[in-house]
Amino acid sequence: MTKESKNNELNKSMESWIWDAACSIRGAQDASKYKDFILPLIFVKRLCDVFDDEIDRFAKEVGSRAKAFELVDRDKKLVRFYIPFRPENPEEPVWSVIRKLTDKIGEKLTSHLRDIARENPRLSGIIDRIDFNATTHGVRDIDDDRLSNLIEKISQKRLGLDDVEPDIIGRSYEYLIRKFAEGGGQSAGEFYTPKEVGLIMAKIMDPEPGMWIYDPCCGSAGLLIKCQIVLNEKMKAKKIKKFQPLKLYGQEFVPQTWAMANMNMIIHDMEGHIEIGDTFRNPKFRENNRLVTFDRVVANPMWNQDMFDERDYDADTFGRFPNGAGFPGKQSADWGWMQHILASLKEEGKAAVVLDTGAASRGSGNANTNKEKQVRKWFVENDYIEGVLYLPENLFYNTTAPGIVIFLNKNKPADRKNKMLLVNASQEFAKGTPKNYITDEGIEKITSTFLGWKEIDKFSKIVAKEEIVRNDYNISPSRYIHISEEEEYRPIEEIWEEIKELEMEAVDINSKLKNIIERLGI
Q: Dump pLDDT digits (tens) for 19-78.
A: 888 888 876 657 777 888 999 999 999 999 999 999 999 999 999 999 999 999 999 999
309 residue type, one letter: D
Residue 486 pLDDT exceeds 50:
no
The stretch 496-501 carries a mean pLDDT of 67
b/e for 264-281, b at 16 or more Cβ within 10 A?
A: bbbbbbbebebbbeebbe
Residue 215 pLDDT exceeds 80:
yes
Model pLDDT, residue 211: 98
The stretch 152-177 carries a mean pLDDT of 89
**Euclidean distance between CA atoms 240 and 313, whole angstroms:** 45
**Euclidean distance between CA atoms 20 and 18, whole angstroms:** 6
Pairing state between β 404-409 and 385-390: antiparallel
- The pLDDT > 70 percentage for the chain reads 91
The stretch 135-160 carries a mean pLDDT of 93
Residue 407 phi, psi (nearest 5): -105, 125
The stretch 462-470 carries a mean pLDDT of 97
- The pLDDT > 90 percentage for the chain reads 75
pLDDT band at 178 (very low <50, low <70, confident <90, very high): confident
Residue 488 pLDDT exceeds 60:
no
Give domain 184-488's CATH superfamily: Vaccinia Virus protein VP39 (3.40.50.150)
Residue 511 phi, psi (nearest 5): -65, -45
Residue 456 pLDDT exceeds 60:
yes
Model pLDDT, residue 1: 56
Residue 290 phi, psi (nearest 5): -125, 150
Q: What is the mean pLDDT of the chain?
A: 91
- Coil, helix or strand at residue 119: helix
- Coil, helix or strand at residue 61: helix
pLDDT band at 496 (very low <50, low <70, confident <90, very high): low
- Coil, helix or strand at residue 507: helix
Model pLDDT, residue 366: 75
The stretch 465-482 carries a mean pLDDT of 95
Model pLDDT, residue 180: 85
296 strand-pairing partners: 213, 350
pLDDT digits 0-9 by tens, 224-247: 999 999 999 999 999 999 999 999
Residue 161 or residue 384, greater confidence: 384
Alpha helices in 155-254 (DSSP H): 166-182, 195-205, 222-237
The stretch 468-491 carries a mean pLDDT of 81
**Euclidean distance between CA atoms 134 and 128, whole angstroms:** 13
Nearest to 50 by CA among 29, 26, 80, 13: 80
**Euclidean distance between CA atoms 375 and 335, whole angstroms:** 7
Residue 367 or residue 469, greater confidence: 469
Nearest to 23 by CA among 40, 35, 36, 9: 35
Alpha helices in 206-353 (DSSP H): 222-237, 255-267, 310-314, 334-343
The region, left, alpha or beta by phi > 0 then psi within -120 to 50, assigned to residue 383 is: left
Residue 500 pLDDT exceeds 70:
no
The stretch 440-451 carries a mean pLDDT of 98
- Coil, helix or strand at residue 379: helix
Residue 511 pLDDT exceeds 90:
no
Residue 155 or residue 492, greater confidence: 155
**Euclidean distance between CA atoms 443 and 424, whole angstroms:** 13
Pairing state between β 272-276 and 139-140: unpaired
Residue 32 or residue 500, greater confidence: 32
The stretch 77-84 carries a mean pLDDT of 97
Rounded to two decimals, the pTM is 0.88
Domain ranges of the chain: 3-178, 184-488
CATH of 3-178, one of 1.20.1260.30, 3.40.50.720, 3.30.70.3290, 3.40.50.150: 1.20.1260.30
pLDDT band at 306 (very low <50, low <70, confident <90, very high): very high
pLDDT digits 0-9 by tens, 389-441: 999 999 998 788 999 999 999 999 999 999 999 999 999 999 988 899 999 99
Give the list of residues 6+ apart from residue 393 with CB closer than 8 angstroms, or none: 400, 401, 402, 426, 429, 436, 491
pLDDT band at 182 (very low <50, low <70, confident <90, very high): confident
Q: Which long-range contacts (CB under 8 A, 24 or more apart) does 480-486 make?
A: 480/422, 481/390, 481/422, 481/423, 481/424, 482/458, 483/424, 483/426, 483/427, 483/458, 484/458
Q: Which of 29-33, 126-130, 134-138, 336-340 has the highest mean pLDDT?
A: 336-340
**Euclidean distance between CA atoms 101 and 113, whole angstroms:** 13
**Treating both helix axes as pointing N-terminal to C-terminal, what angle do 144-154 and 3-23 enclose, rounded to 10 degrees?**
170
Burial of 140 (0-12, 13-18, 19+ CB in 10 A): middle
* Cα dihedral 471→472→476→477 (10° resolution): 20
